[in-house]
Structure 1
Amino acid sequence: MSIIKQPLLFAGSLGEKHLYTLYDSGANLSCINPEYLENLENPTQLGRIRMMGTAAEGHYIEVTQRVSLDFYMDDVLLSDEFLVIPGLSEEAIIGAATMQKWRIKLDFEHDTAIVDPKVAKMQLV
């Protein structure tokens, strides 16, 4: 199993910050560790609490907040919602739904993630 991590620039209403980001095609949704939200963005409460399953069988984490953030890949501005996960082992995780939305491809041979150049052109319209 290959793992791809890259530093990405995240931007919120309070500022910008580089976060070491894991691309995880096994995770449906994107998430962020709350420790890295200071001076970046204020989270909002979820309408309903979500119980998220972990890799440990039968272990769940209660998720009560989310945050909308912009992030940059190869100077292409992207954005999405990130669930705020207490105790998350990574600074940020880009999940499968975000990868599909922005046509992000994982290149395990070169240990990198690639954003489709057409995405940048779509934003100019």
Structure 2
Amino acid sequence: MSVIKLPLLYEGTKGDARLVTLFDSGANLSCINSSFVAQLGGAAAFSRVKRLGTASNGHFIEIKERITLDFFIHDILLSDEFLVVPNLSEEAIIGAATLQKWRIKLNFDHDTVDVDPKVAILQLKKGEALAALC
């Protein structure tokens, strides 16, 4: 099985960090190692502890916090919520939900990650803009 890992720049409310990131379409959600949260800042507690299943059959970990981070792929600014995972084996993991949200494509033949810059343009549609003003 091919694996893609790239160093990405992450920005939080307190600072930034360049983290080696695993792109994992088998992981539902994106995660970050808890050791980087103090540097990035802005973690928020869940109202209830989440039990997250792992690749080990019958093994669960408890997730108590999440953090919203900006991150860059090829100088394209993206943003998403990351689960804060204690003792995560990777520095960060980009999961399937983030891959789909930003239409990120993984090219395992060339070990590259592609994102269309047009997807990252933030915009309100005409009807949404009018509703926001009212």
Q: Per the shorter chain, which TM-score range?
A: over 0.9
Which residue of the partner structure matches residue 42 of structure 1? Answer: 42
| RMSD of aligned Cα (Å) | 1.2
The CA distance in 2 between the partners of 1:117 and 1:45, in whole Å, is 32
Structure 1 residue 116 displacement after superposition: 1.5
User: What SS does structure 2 have at the residue aligned with 1:18?
Assistant: strand
Which residue of the partner structure matches residue 87 of structure 1? Answer: 87
Does the Cα contact within 8 Å between 1:34 and 1:86 map onto a contact in 2?
yes
Which residue of the partner structure matches residue 123 of structure 1? Answer: 122
Alpha-carbon displacement from aligned partner over 1:14-46 (angstroms, at most 9, x marks no partner): 011100000000001000001112221231101
- Structure 2 unaligned blocks of 5 or more: 125-134
The CA distance in 2 between the partners of 1:38 and 1:44, in whole Å, is 12
Structure 1 residue 91 displacement after superposition: 0.3
Letter matched to residue 88 of structure 1: L
Q: Please, what TM-score do these two structures have when normalized by structure 2?
A: 0.88
The percent identity for this pair of structures is 59
Which residue of the partner structure matches residue 65 of structure 1? Answer: 65
Letter matched to residue 105 of structure 1: K
User: What SS does structure 2 have at the residue aligned with 1:36?
Assistant: helix
User: What SS does structure 1 have at the residue aligned with 2:26?
Assistant: coil
Does the Cα contact within 8 Å between 2:42 and 2:68 map onto a contact in 1?
no
Does the Cα contact within 8 Å between 1:41 and 1:69 map onto a contact in 2?
no
* Greater helix share, structure number: 2
Which residue of the partner structure matches residue 108 of structure 2? Answer: 108
Q: Please, what TM-score do these two structures have when normalized by structure 1?
A: 0.94
Alpha-carbon displacement from aligned partner over 1:68-106 (angstroms, at most 9, x marks no partner): 000001111000000001111000000000000001000
The number of equivalent residue pairs is 124
Letter matched to residue 28 of structure 2: N
The CA distance in 2 between the partners of 1:55 and 1:91, in whole Å, is 17
Which residue of the partner structure matches residue 54 of structure 1? Answer: 54
- Over alpha carbons, which structure has the higher Rg? 2
Does the Cα contact within 8 Å between 2:23 and 2:95 map onto a contact in 1?
yes
The CA distance in 2 between the partners of 1:48 and 1:38, in whole Å, is 21
The CA distance in 2 between the partners of 1:96 and 1:58, in whole Å, is 21
Letter matched to residue 115 of structure 1: V
